[in-house]
Chain A
Amino acid sequence: MNLVQILGICIVAATVSILLKNYSGEYSLIVSVLAGAAVLILLISEIYDNLLDIRNAVSKYSASAYFLLALKSLGICVITGFISDACRQAGQISLASKAELAGRCAIFILSVPLLSSLIDTAYGFIK
C-alpha cells in the first residue's frame, strides 16, 4: 500500500487547486475531482486481490449471497460518496444531498429481496 504516494497526490492537488482558484474557479474544481478519482482508483486497485480472496472464501457457504449484497452496497457507498463530495466541493449542497439520496435508494432497492426473505423466515418461526 503506497500510502505516501496517495497522501502526496492529495496535498499536491490541494495546492494546485488553490493556485488555480484565483485564475479560474472551474479548473480548481476539476483538479480536485481528478485527484479524488486518481486516489480512489489507486485505493481500489490495491484492495482488488484481497476482495477476490474474501469473495472466493465466502462463496463456498450458502449465505454468500448476503455477503455479496453487502459488497455491492459498499461499492455504491464509495461512488455516491465520491460524487456527493465533489458536488459539495463545487458549492452545490442540494446536488450533493440529491446524489446521496440516489445512493440510498439504490441500496434500498438492492436490499428488498433480503427483507422479503427475512419476513418469510420470521413468519416461519411464528407459525
Chain B
Amino acid sequence: MDVDLIFRVAAIGIIIAVLNQVLVRSGREDQAMLMTLTGLVVVLLMVVGVIADLFSTVKSVFGL
C-alpha cells in the first residue's frame, strides 16, 4: 500500500531535479525555483496524508 508511494516520491524527486537543471541551464532560474517549490509542496501533501493515517491508526489501537 505504501511501498509504491515510496517509489512515486523517488520518481518525482528525480524528475524535478532533472527539470530543475534543464531550466537552470536554459537561463530561467526563477521558474526552476518555483517548479522545485511546487514539486515539494505536492510531495509534502502526500506525506501529510500518510502521517495522518499513521496517527489515526495509533490513536485507535492504543485508545489515545
Contacts and interface: CB of A to CB of B under 8 A. Distances in A.
Contact of A24 (B2, B13, B50, B51): B13
A21 B50 CA distance: 22
Nearest to B43: A30
B53 interface: yes
A47 B60 CA distance: 12
B55 to A, nearest CB: 7
B54 to A, nearest CB: 5
Contacts of B1: 38, 41
A34 B63 contact: no
Interface residues of A, number: 35
A37 B50 contact: yes
B16 A24 contact: yes
Interface of A: 9, 12-13, 16, 19-20, 23-24, 26-28, 30-31, 33-35, 37-38, 40-41, 44-45, 47-48, 51, 55, 68, 71-72, 74-76, 78-79, 82
Interface residues of B, number: 31
A40 B54 contact: yes
B58 A78 contact: yes
Contacts of B22: none
Nearest to A110: B64
Contacts of B57: 41, 44-45
A59 B4 CA distance: 40
